[in-house]
Amino acid sequence: MEWETVIGLEIHTQLATRSKIFSGAATAYGAEPNTQACAVDLGLPGVLPVLNKDVMRMAVKFGLALGAEIGMTSVFDRKNYFYPDLPKGYQTTQMDYPIVGKGSLTIELEDGSTKVIGVTRAHLEEDAGKSLHEDFQGMTGIDLNRAGTPLLEIVSDPDMSSAKEAVAYMRKMHSLVRYIGISDGNMQEGSFRCDANVSVRPKGQKEFGTRAELKNINSFRFVERAINIEVERQIDLIEAGGEVVQETRLYDSDKNETRSMRSKEEANDYRYFPDPDLLPIKLTQEFVEEIRATLPELPGAKKARFIKSFGLKEEDINTLVTNRETAEYFEVVVEKCGDAKLASNWVVGELSGYLNKEDMDITASPVTADMLALLITRIKDNTISGKIAKQVFEALWKGEGKDADAVIESKGLKQITDTGEIEAIVDEIIAANPEQVEQFKAGKEKVLGFFVGQCMKASKGKANPGQLNQLIRDKLK
Amino acid sequence: MHNKTIAELAQGLKTGDFSSEELSKSFLQRIKQYDTDLNSFITVSEDHALAQARAADEIISKGNATALTGIPFAQKDIFCTNGIKTTCGSKMLDNFIAPYDATVIHHFNQAGSVMLGKTNMDEFAMGSSNETSFYGGVKNPWDTSTVPGGSSGGSAAAVAARLAPASTGTDTGGSIRQPAALCGLTGLKPTYGRVSRYGMIAFASSLDQAGTFTQTAEDAGLMLNVMAGFDEKDSTSVEQDVPDYTANLNQDLKGLKIGLPKEYFGEGLNADVAKIVEEAITEYKKLGAEIVDISLPNSHLSVPAYYVIAPAECSSNLSRFDGVRFGYRCDDPKDLEDMYKRSRGEGFGDEVKRRIMIGAYALSAGYYDAYYLKAQKIRRLISDDFKAAFEKVDVIMGPTSPEVAFKAGEKSDDPVSMYLSDIYTIATNLAGLPGMSVPCGFSNKMPVGLQLIGNYFDESRLLNVAHQYQQTTDWHKQMPEAYK
């Protein structure tokens, strides 16, 4: 039988506020356990939550960026359950009236086509703390630094039909939240993670199959692998006569398998009800417009502009606009060197290669946009060849000079354009290789490459390639 | 000194008749003398009180005293006090010392007043007789075989026996007004949101409101002046100016329209209490007020709606008492679940458990609409009843409690009859309105309270209406013989 996969994602993105959603405690990552938890985060008796207004601004910004409905009145609810790292015995979240309503996100697929994925809603909630099971013999340690960290949970419609689509959606959402500056999107630190609802059904069937929820996946690669392995498990199960049960499953990346955490029967009755300690958030149109005015140019608009003004390959543009920093870097390079094609090649090629290798953010690149622009300018004005430019780039990356000119000067990499000097090298190489000269004269054009290579080597790569080619041809005739 | 009002004591402090230290010592002495029997305090903070008194004397000597400087108060043990145990009447918090002050406490400290100690109360403010306290019941000074009412029973008994000139309480369904009535005191529950709830241990967040026990309406105004106001730490506190609540006390009541809801004078009301309340109304007529018969048609729904909403909120509010971070934890838990079950099972008393279970049930999937949502709709209807009534009248009056103080143990095994003690007070909380109880006579030597209900943020008028009555009657000046 042919099967069809149905996937919906719930993405939890941590909002980049300095303090927590309902208290003044700091949100910085990696502090000593329980040093960033105040009386409110600890859930001490009598203390009360007060909404951090930045959280509200960021959520509205997200809604506007997505072109979604904005919940002009949204309500906080309590989700009640007991867990040691949930200090109040309930999580404050939004149930019936989320701050962001229906919207959609268009994703690009590998074959170049696009697909619109519905976004059901996005709501605000607080994160829980962390249970630490190591270092405590027979006991569990609780770190409440994370408790009360603001999260925006973005819930998609069940519109994705493959792991690849799910990853494309997640990547696009990741890019968006970083673009508009509401999250640092740091996946290692848990600032961007997702739950995937996965089900399968016979191709063409209308009703959904029973879904399993894969919890807390924090990398694009794992999302793809977890979904694929889960789809495989469900199909195998059904084909063997079994039945998928609705449950929460955990993806184990070491074993590349999903495991049951708890089934629906064991699931909590969360006894949701409106939080009486917090008033409903009532937004005014004026406030929403104020937020709209702070929106940066979004990836879609940026891409359209890049296509129009730079005439680049769509594939390259996609890379350039993945994040705001890369796009901004690229635009500085173009502006300073005046060559969009070369700028794109260098940013997408050499620079990205180095950044990837060192797992570095473009904002931390030792080769700044200004430095790259000057380097490209020196290629264009024939001071250096493209090949030598790579050497210069490497030197700049390693900090061996303040700019391209300094490196070219100190390493003596300036291109030889003096015809006499190049001629001398050509003469020498021709004289030293009579056999190849004969072959060329006998019509073996390929030998030309041999001469170019030898001459280039003799010039230590500095001979102007155009001039060199021409001279060799002339001399061999 | 012990039988003076706040206003009189402030005068005495100002003119140097006595110091705050002398005053505080005399009340501490009275606590030592009488409270072993009454049990109105859970904690007496003698050293702290004397340090505060000496600081107050310093301020007074420099001429910087304000209305409450140097005045001793008893604080209900529901308000967190930095460095001094706050139990909320529960074993669960027998070891709990908050690292912060409730905003109410902060205001009293800023005013330079003195805290004598923390008063006994029904466990987590759940009760109408003070019998659910882990620290034992409190005796009513008017007849020690009876209860003082609840949940703020300790605060009421302490002032009734003049172990403190005044005290604070909290009122979720009548927890200030009912004990004030049963102990012959002036009790004030302000409008919901008038006084910050920060640091006040929550029972039912949408109903809880802090207020006062005093001998006079004037004293209640003096205390409210200090307690009221917006607090950025409490999102449900209301951003509205705080007037001087003593400014309008002396206005006459000519033309005042008093509404008498027929539902508050029907079946279930003790005949003697009814008669005494009617006499009080007659007194108001003499003062120039006009009586208007009104109806609050949904009154009969207030107790059932309350006993869904309050337990629902409490079931969630009390989840934080889990033995993990503070408070009671059972010995040698086997595992996490065992720790939760036994810590909560051993740490909470029966009434608290009963309400948590009712609340959890009312909120559970499949029952939410039928109970919680329906109760919220009723709540709206009850508010609408009052809204309509206040278009016709300025103040609503009736009995505070259907009967005078009952015997200890009389209702402790019958929760429903206990819940009915608050039948006239609960609607006010559901609507969020301000209410008072004012002493208006005695039935079989036990005090009877007249309830006054005002419109939102109309505390000034309530205090004025109560004060005028207290100018022509002396019920509020009576005190139990044994404590004179």
pLDDT for A449 beyond 90: no
Chain A environment of B99 (Cβ under 8 Å): 39, 44
Could you report the per-residue pLDDT of B215-260, keeping only the tens digit for each? 999 999 999 999 999 999 999 999 999 999 999 999 999 999 999 9
**A165/A228 same-domain check:** yes
Domain identity same for A355 and A402? yes
pLDDT band of B467, cuts 50, 70, 90? very high
For A115-173, the pLDDT digits (tens) are 999 999 999 999 999 998 888 888 889 999 999 999 999 999 999 999 999 999 999 99
pLDDT of B206: 98
Specify the 3-state DSSP secondary structure of B8.
helix
Same domain? For A170 and A273 the reply is yes
Same domain membership, residue A347 and residue A279: no
Residue B371 forms part of a structural domain: no
Picking from B99, B321, B324, the nearest residue to A84 by CB comes out as B324
Q: A235: which residues sit within 8 A by CB, 6+ positions away?
A: A3, A200
Catalytic residue flag (residue B76): yes
Mean pLDDT value across residues A72-82: 97
Domain boundary among A290, A320, A343: A290
pLDDT tops 90 at residue A476:
no
pLDDT band at B143 (very low <50, low <70, confident <90, very high): very high
DSSP letters for A355-412: HHHHT--GGG-SS-HHHHHHHHHHHHTTSS-HHHHHHHHHHHHTT-SSSHHHHHHHHT
Residue A474 has pLDDT above 90, yes or no: no
| Domain co-membership, A405 together with A426 | no
Same domain, A206 and A61: yes
- Tell me which residue range forms the domain holding B125: 6-256+392-483
Domain contains B421: yes
Place of tokens 């039928």: B370
Percentage of residues of chain A with pLDDT beyond 90:
71
The pLDDT of residue B179 is above 80: yes
More confident residue, A427 or A72: A72
Torsion angle of the four alpha carbons B367, B371, B374, B378, in this order, in degrees rounded to the nearest 10? 180
Q: What does the alpha-carbon distance between residue A178 and residue A61 come to, in Å, rounded to a whole number? A: 12
B431 located within any domain = yes
Same domain, A236 and A346: no
Token output for B358: 């009712």
Q: Which residue has the higher pLDDT, A375 or A323?
A: A375
**What is the domain extent for residue A464?**
419-476
The reply to whether A155 and A132 lie within a common domain is yes
Determine what percent of chain B is predicted with pLDDT higher than 90. Answer: 96
Query: Is A78 in CB contact (< 8 Å) with chain B?
Result: yes
CA distance A412 to A431: 27
Helix axis angle for A447-458 and A434-441, nearest 10°, is 140
Domain count, chain A: 3
Contact B202 A46 (CB under 8 A): yes
The helix/strand count (H/E) of chain B reads as 15, 11
Contacts of B345 in chain A (CB under 8 A): none
Q: pTM for the whole thing? A: 0.90
Whether B104 maps to a domain, the answer reads yes
Residues B338-351 pLDDT 10s: 999 999 999 999 99
Give A421's pLDDT tier (boundaries 50, 70, 90). Answer: confident
Chain A residues whose beta carbon lies within 8 Å of the beta carbon of residue B360: 271
CA distance B345 to chain A (A): 15
Q: Taking CA atoms, what residue in B is nearest to A278?
A: B235
- CATH number, domain at B225? 3.90.1300.10
Could you give the CA distance from residue B42 to residue B85 in angstroms, rounded to a whole number? Answer: 9
The model's pLDDT over B249-292, given as tens digits with 9 standing for 90+, comes to: 999 999 999 999 999 998 899 999 999 999 999 999 999 999 99
Same domain? A119 vs A166: yes
Band of pLDDT at residue A448, cut at 50, 70 and 90: confident
List residues in chain B touching A: CB distance below 8 A: 79-80, 86, 88, 93, 96, 98-100, 102, 197-202, 204-206, 232-236, 312-313, 315-316, 318-322, 324-327, 336, 340, 360, 363-365, 368, 372
Residue pointed to by tokens 């359950």: A81
Segment A220-275, tens digit of pLDDT = 999 999 999 999 999 999 999 999 999 999 999 899 999 998 766 666 799 999 99
- Residue A442 sits in a domain whose CATH number is 1.10.10.410
Indicate if A275 and A367 belong to the same structural domain: no
pLDDT-above-70 percentage for chain A: 99
Quick one: pLDDT at residue A267? 67
Question: Domain boundary residue among A271, A290, A309?
Answer: A290
Which residue from A48, A82, A87 is facing B198, i.e. has the nearest CB? Answer: A48
In total, how many domains does chain B have?
A: 1
Give the per-residue pLDDT at A1. Answer: 82
Whole-number pLDDT of residue B460: 98
User: What per-residue confidence (pLDDT) applies to A393?
Assistant: 95
Q: Which of residues 312-351 of A touch B (CB under 8 A)?
A: none
Q: Smallest Cα–Cα separation from A435: which of A420, A422, A450?
A: A450
Domain boundary among A364, A384, A411: A411
Are A180 and A235 found together in one domain? yes
Q: Summarize the confidence of residues A164-188 as an average pLDDT.
A: 94
Query: Could you say which of B102, B322, B364 has the minimum Cβ distance to residue A46?
Result: B102
Residues A229, A269: one domain? yes
Q: Nearest chain B residue to A272 by CA: give it.
A: B363
